[in-house]
Amino acid sequence: MTDLRADIAGHENTGDAGFRDYLQLLKPRVMSLVVFTALVGLVVAPVRLHPIESLAAIIFIALGAGASGALNMWWDADIDRVMRRTAKRPVPAGMVQPGEALGLGATLSALSVVMLWLATNLLAAALLAFTIFFYAVVYTMWLKRSTPQNIVIGGASGAFPPMIGWVAATGSISVEAVLMFLVIFMWTPPHFWALALFMNSDYEKAKVPMLTVTHGRRSTRNHILVYTLLLAPVALVAAFTSIGGPIYFAVSLVLNLLFVIGAFRLWTRREEAAEADKYAAEKRFFALSLAYLFLHFAAFAVEATPWADAFSNYLGWEAVTWR
């Protein structure tokens, strides 16, 4: 009995995780973004699914994203342990064993793909499988530790959910789905590099070759500006497809203007000035990037409502047919 007590006392925070710890393995904050963008992909699609099918599609897409998050935490436990931002994650904190994270990630990956197939269609399930593979293997195991362009290519995995939502409803990939993908894909580098500008020491400690670590902050600022300038036309052109409209165009125009101005400000900043105000402009740009993505997808969703349709007709706005 004494031994058992000692065992329990010594493992206060190991090997017997609570439900919340397992939930944390699925990266609930990332999942919420996935749920939102996948939902928009479903809502803006021209085909309506049964509400239960839509609910199932969203749940299994989110579960797939969560599964890849668990696989990421299993593989990256050594990095997470070093970085202040991630040190409290369940595996580095000792709440969940690495093997458990692997088991949970692999099981939920298979379950989410098969269930999405049964709930919707094979193409959507195949895309989800590819997304999980891309995030867990291509990004986490390969790119993250080997190239400063890690988040550029790895960002694709975060860009797939709205496309999967669209494909779940329609059964095919179209220009609209590709544009939603591209908006997130092009948005990811400036978003993460802005974060890296003020979290540089974390990545440096963990020896993650973020652009700020390998090429310095000056180069990162240049890259942020270039990607922001490339992102703007992609986001704006979506206004002229079936998922866009005048409301989306107005929202996108304002957001892109603010985003380009923000990127230009970061580009002109000297390191001394940034350090003096503790990277205030970089933090503002990061916050703006979150609003940028949320409001773009919210505008897509608004354009799918009958009121937006009526407004478009009133203005004589016509979408270009790209099929």
Partner 1 sequence: MALTREHDLHKRRAGRNLGVLVVLLAFVALVFGLTIAKMQRGESMQGFDHTYRVDMDPDTVIPGAAGTQPEGASE
Q: Which residues bind partner 1 (CB under 8 A)?
A: 1, 4-5, 8-9, 12, 16-20, 22-23, 50-53, 55-56, 59, 118-119
Q: Is the CB of 95 or the CB of 183 nearer to partner 1? A: 95
Q: Is the CB of 18 or the CB of 103 nearer to partner 1? A: 18
Is the Cβ–Cβ distance between 71 and 109 less than 8 Å? yes
Sequence-distant (≥ 6) Cβ neighbours of residue 296 within 8 angstroms: 183, 235, 248, 251, 252, 255
What is the residue-wise DSSP string for 157-188? Answer: HHHHHHHHHHHHHHSS--HHHHHHHHHHHHHH
Minimum CB separation of residue 115 from partner 1 in Å reads: 8
Q: Is the CB of 4 or the CB of 323 nearer to partner 1? A: 4
Q: Supply 180's token pair.
A: 């939603």
Q: CA 44 to CA 24: how far, in whole Å?
A: 30
Is the Cβ–Cβ distance between 246 and 311 less than 8 Å? yes
Q: Is the CB of 95 or the CB of 178 nearer to partner 1? A: 95
Is the Cβ–Cβ distance between 124 and 49 less than 8 Å? no
Q: CA 148 to CA 58: how far, in whole Å?
A: 32
Minimum CB separation of residue 89 from partner 1 in Å reads: 17
Minimum CB separation of residue 113 from partner 1 in Å reads: 15
Minimum CB separation of residue 112 from partner 1 in Å reads: 11
Minimum CB separation of residue 140 from partner 1 in Å reads: 25
Q: Is the CB of 87 or the CB of 114 nearer to partner 1? A: 114
Minimum CB separation of residue 73 from partner 1 in Å reads: 18
Q: CA 294 to CA 281: how far, in whole Å?
A: 20
Is the Cβ–Cβ distance between 152 and 220 less than 8 Å? no
Nearest to 279 by CA among 196, 187, 191, 190: 196
Q: Is the CB of 53 or the CB of 204 nearer to partner 1? A: 53
